[in-house]
Chains A and B, each alone.
Chain A
């Protein structure tokens, strides 16, 4: 960094007359104003604009749609919620999505833990660095293309059936199993990275202490490693859970099953207030999930 460091101004003695200098001195004396200036844009954008638009979404859920003009009527009504609660399909779709999110999260934990553990506690520093890059890179490779690749793999004349045909069996094809596979595939790195970081933070001395005290490998794992890695698992699960809850593209690519995202997506054009009301379902589930994850220390492990 020394090579690129800009040379300091020639005269370190302040020319106390310049306006900038006076402004700076004034700001230095008024830290609250300084803080206000630093916070102005982030607050305007994230609090006013972003939270504001979540509020607009919330308000829309209490409005209705004129059946003739399809325009939104801004009169307070609970009709959307009554419709969501009394029409069985909405509950069924929500439950299905929730189950899928839970199963995908669980699968991601089971797949991520061994590789994260290997990276953090077994691999040499070189291998560890290489594996970290190998796990992070695919996270950023086009999401759509990765999902599409599974459409090719699972298609009738695709790779999987070709591989399985000598055994006389067929792959799962398109459907709920395919959705589960693709979600697990897409979100897996989101779980591996925090779990690896969490396991890496556990000092080896703790593991040695456990073994000195007579704890066998299984015991050390259950009593030391597992409890200490829970915040990291919770952090990873925020992503696997949230991303599954809101996705409408994967189910459309590899199944015909409807999930929350699909129902919202279809309704946006037809009945915006109803779609807004339904989108409160993943929003509320996720806020609840974040509250729980926070109690498990997930936010410190993000």
Chain B
């Protein structure tokens, strides 16, 4: 609709939005190799100095590892909770079903500071130590929705008759899950897990409330904003953070689109 002029206008708007989205990300890459190490534009030259310094920085390495562990832990918990919740909501009718789907969305729909405050206050009251485990608990809470959404979309498309056929053929509950339900869910769960990993790896608002003294990569980056000698390393760390979030998401998108035939 709209004829040629409308189409052209839409095309220009689309291009402009893409430029708006990608220029700041491209700049981070440029600054990671900028010789001057300041915000001054244009860059004064190309250097690998900051990359070397970042690779040698033990604090940064430690933070990177901590983030990997936290994201891994949160993803496992989110996988279990998200797929169970999706199974319950899609395969059973029960009082409070709507509530379950609402409570799954809630941690991501509420402002991060509310979730962060609530968790840190509760941990404080229970004398539960802040740190890596607390971080994983917090991350898992808002990562559940990613696994849940992927799993439930798949379960709704998978006919229940397959499971009934399996039972009719003599398979028990566990066999049906193992040989019928799970294989149908597998790629959706993997996509959800990759998204959960990426979200956890990147999260900072809730993390600050639950971390205690533990530094994840985003917390390291956040604290480095104020340390003049680490500022040039921030861009390199940022480059690593971007790659580690974007690569899983790329595969998650491929996984869901090849199976469903939709982008």
Contact = CB atoms under 8 A, between A and B. Distances in A.
Contacts of A301: none
Contacts of B88: 35, 38-39, 42
Nearest to A143: B202
Given A117-B10, A162-B41, A249-B222, A60 B172 contact: no
Interface residues on B, range: 35 or more
B13 A115 contact: yes
Contacts of A117: 10
A155 B27 CA distance: 13
B60 interface: no
A141 B248 CA distance: 11
Given A24-B172, A31-B92, A144 B238 contact: yes
B202 A286 contact: no
Interface string A65-102: 00000000000000000000000000000000000000
B75 to A, nearest CB: 14
B150 interface: no
B113 A264 contact: yes
B173 A28 contact: yes
Given A27-B173, A46-B144, A159 B41 contact: yes
Contacts of A189: 21
B173 A247 contact: no
B41 A157 contact: yes
Interface in B158-207: 167, 169-175, 178-179, 183, 195, 198-199, 202-205
Interface string A242-284: 1101111100010000001100110010001001100100110
Contact of B245 (A112, A142, A265): A142
A226 interface: no
B221 A140 contact: no
A13 interface: yes
B179 A6 contact: yes
B56 interface: no
B179 A111 contact: no
Contacts of A220: 1
Given A118-B14, A135-B21, A286-B111, A144 B121 contact: no
Contact of B111 (A121, A137, A282): A282
B100 A137 contact: no
A286 B110 contact: yes
B11 interface: yes
Interface string B91-104: 01010000110011
A286 to B, nearest CB: 6
B121 A57 contact: yes
Contact of A265 (B105, B113, B198, B218): B113
Interface string B22-66: 101101100100000011111000000000000000000000000
Interface of B: 1-3, 6-7, 9-11, 13-14, 17-18, 20-22, 24-25, 27-28, 31, 38-42, 77, 80-81, 84-85, 87-88, 92, 94, 99-100, 103-107, 109-114, 117-122, 124-125, 137, 140-141, 144, 149, 167, 169-175, 178-179, 183, 195, 198-199, 202-205, 209, 218, 221-222, 225, 234-235, 237-238, 241-242, 245-246, 248-250, 253, 257, 263
27 contacts: A5-B183, A9-B175, A14-B170, A38-B84, A38-B88, A42-B81, A42-B100, A45-B144, A47-B99, A57-B117, A115-B13, A115-B17, A128-B263, A137-B250, A139-B249, A142-B221, A143-B218, A145-B235, A145-B242, A149-B27, A152-B31, A157-B39, A247-B113, A253-B225, A264-B117, A265-B113, A283-B114
Given A141-B246, A279-B114, A286-B110, 17 more contacts: A5-B179, A35-B92, A39-B85, A42-B81, A42-B84, A46-B100, A122-B11, A132-B263, A134-B21, A138-B25, A142-B245, A143-B218, A144-B221, A146-B25, A149-B238, A245-B111, A248-B205
